[in-house]
């Protein structure tokens, strides 16, 4: 199975859920910018306080902050990694391309988890995280369409994109992903 992976998809598509399973199974380092940012918020640092305001509105945290979080972790690792929730826009994708070139660790596969908006909203409302309320979810979906969805074309053009249907049980989606990554 491929060892340097990127998961793309709308908020609530199950990127984090599936990334956890694949990383356990394949012994990859799981880099979730969402989780890392929430840890920063929990720590009460000034960066965390800054990030919290942005995240609670469903907006994207600054590219510089996110890149600094990812860079540290990628460059010290060689066994393989899975990027979950990063990049979130074309500027982050360009910064990532530069970084990966510098450390000679190119992406092997980009996996897009596709799913209907209605199901996403139901899943997120059920999860009930601080940023999982109707108004913030609508904003996150808008930001996804405007800023993150253009990455689909970007990775398709360079021949790295694989899509899987995110509908169904966690196990069903996991089987589809494993098949797509083999």
- The residue ranges that bind ligand B4P (CB under 6 A) are 9, 11-17, 33-34, 37, 54-55, 58, 60-61, 66, 85-86, 88, 92, 123-124, 127, 131, 140, 168-170, 173
CA 129 to CA 144: how far, in whole Å?
Answer: 18
Nearest-approach distance from CB 16 to ligand B4P, in angstroms: 3
Nearer to ligand B4P, 66 or 164 (CB): 66
Nearest-approach distance from CB 106 to ligand B4P, in angstroms: 19
Shortest CA distance to 86 belongs to which of 159, 35, 24, 18? 35
Which residue's Cβ lies closest to ligand B4P?
A: 34
Nearer to ligand B4P, 15 or 28 (CB): 15
Nearest-approach distance from CB 47 to ligand B4P, in angstroms: 13
The CA–CA distances, whole Å, from 39 to 34, 35, 43, 49, 84 equal 9, 6, 6, 11, 15
Tokens of 148: 């993150």
The CA–CA distances, whole Å, from 38 to 52, 56, 79 equal 8, 11, 25
- Is 166 in a helix, a strand, or coil? coil
Nearest-approach distance from CB 172 to ligand B4P, in angstroms: 7
Nearest-approach distance from CB 22 to ligand B4P, in angstroms: 12
Q: Are strands 109-114 and 161-165 parallel, antiparallel or unpaired?
A: parallel
Shortest CA distance to 113 belongs to which of 69, 142, 144, 135? 144
Nearer to ligand B4P, 106 or 168 (CB): 168
Q: Are strands 109-114 and 81-84 parallel, antiparallel or unpaired?
A: unpaired
């Amino acid at each position: 199975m491929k060892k340097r992976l990127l998961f793309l998809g709308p908020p609530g598509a199950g990127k984090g859920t599936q990334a956890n399973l694949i990383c356990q199974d394949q012994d990859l380092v799981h880099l979730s910018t969402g989780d890392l940012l929430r840890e920063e918020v929990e720590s009460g640092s000034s960066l965390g306080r800054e990030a919290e305001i942005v995240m609670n509105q469903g907006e994207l945290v600054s590219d510089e902050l996110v890149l600094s979080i990812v860079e540290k972790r990628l460059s010290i690792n060689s066994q393989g990694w899975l990027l979950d929730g990063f990049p979130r826009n074309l500027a982050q994708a360009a910064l990532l391309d530069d970084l990966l070139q510098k450390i000679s660790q190119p992406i092997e596969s980009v996996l897009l988890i596709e799913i209907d908006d209605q199901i996403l909203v139901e899943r997120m409302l059920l999860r009930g995280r601080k940023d999982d309320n109707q108004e913030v979810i609508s904003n996150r979906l808008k930001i996804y369409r405007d800023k993150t969805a253009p990455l689909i074309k970007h990775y398709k053009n360079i021949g790295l994109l694989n899509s899987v249907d995110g509908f169904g049980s966690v196990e069903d989606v996991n089987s589809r992903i494993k098949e797509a990554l083999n």
